[in-house]
Chains A and B, each alone.
Chain A
Amino acid sequence: DAGITQSPRHKVTETGTPVTLRCHQTENHRYMYWYRQDPGHGLRLIHYSYGVKDTDKGEVSDGYSVSRSKTEDFLLTLESATSSQTSVYFCAIRPESLGGNTIYFGEGSWLTVV
């Protein structure tokens, strides 16, 4: 258990509406990540954070924004949801104390945009 809670776990939303996914961690890790997982593409990085108010873009950041106002929470917002953003979203943390580049994932948020 990586101490990560994602919410909501499942959501159906309409095209054009904003959606926010929340990732909550309990162990004060500095690094947090949002990935999406799609068939044929695997896991792709959307955005990541290296501290409160410190974020950077990943490979597939278009149409997404993030915020981190507290160490424990990392929010992913789809500003105007499109059908191409139907996916499974995973939050992850990287424990610096363990060294290396290993990351640990949450249980996922299934998003359907209709």
Chain B
Amino acid sequence: QKEVEQDPGPLSVPEGAIVSLNCTYSNSAFQYFMWYRQYSRKGPELLMYTYSSGNKEDGRFTAQVDKSSKYISLFIRDSQPSDSATYLCAMSPGGITGANNLFFGTGTRLTVIP
């Protein structure tokens, strides 16, 4: 069983839709949770970062962490064609060891149709 599971999609939505992207994990030691966006043939760019449980909002993006269920989500409101990309979740344990040991999902490919 992989440490982090992510549905690869692909996911296609109409412009303006609310998008929900999710990851599950098995390691209860994970404390830091991140979402990256990766455009085709580009490097991943950090979108959201949360520590422990709870919600974090940044513009149209909201990240949620439910540690009791070992489940994290990224919501995109009013989706735009420019949101079309692959979204990667990542997570790690706390401490110095955790900082050098990130676990990534395989990514969900999203297409927003104009």
Q: When each residue 20-48 of chain B gets 1 if its CB lies under 8 Å from chain A and 0 otherwise, what string results? A: 00000000000010101000011111100
Given A45-B102, A100-B32, do A105 and B45 touch, yes or no (CB 8 Å)?
A: yes
Range class of the A interface residue count: 20 to 34
**CB-based A-B contact count at 8 angstroms:** 56
| Residue contact A43 to B88, C-beta cutoff 8 Å | yes
Among A41, A48, A103, contact of B106 (Cβ-Cβ < 8 Å):
A41
Given A42-B106, A42-B107, A100-B49, do A105 and B32 touch, yes or no (CB 8 Å)?
A: no
| Residue contact A105 to B104, C-beta cutoff 8 Å | no
Would you call the interface of chain A mostly helix, strand, loop, or mixed? Answer: strand
Binds A, one of B11-19, B59-67, B77-85, B92-100: B92-100
| Residue contact A101 to B32, C-beta cutoff 8 Å | yes
Contacts of A64 in B (CB 8 A): none
Q: List chain A positions with a Cβ less than 8 A from chain B.
A: 31, 33, 39-45, 48, 50, 56, 90, 94, 100-108, 110
Would you list the 8 A-B pairs with minimal beta carbon distance, nearest first?
A105-B43, A42-B106, A43-B104, A101-B32, A42-B104, A101-B99, A101-B92, A107-B43
Q: List chain B positions with a Cβ less than 8 A from chain A.
A: 4, 6, 32, 34, 36, 41-46, 49, 51, 88, 90, 92, 98-102, 104-107
* A-B residue pairs in contact (CB < 8 Å), sample of 16: A31-B99, A33-B100, A42-B107, A43-B44, A45-B100, A48-B100, A50-B100, A56-B100, A90-B43, A101-B98, A102-B32, A102-B34, A103-B46, A103-B102, A104-B46, A105-B45
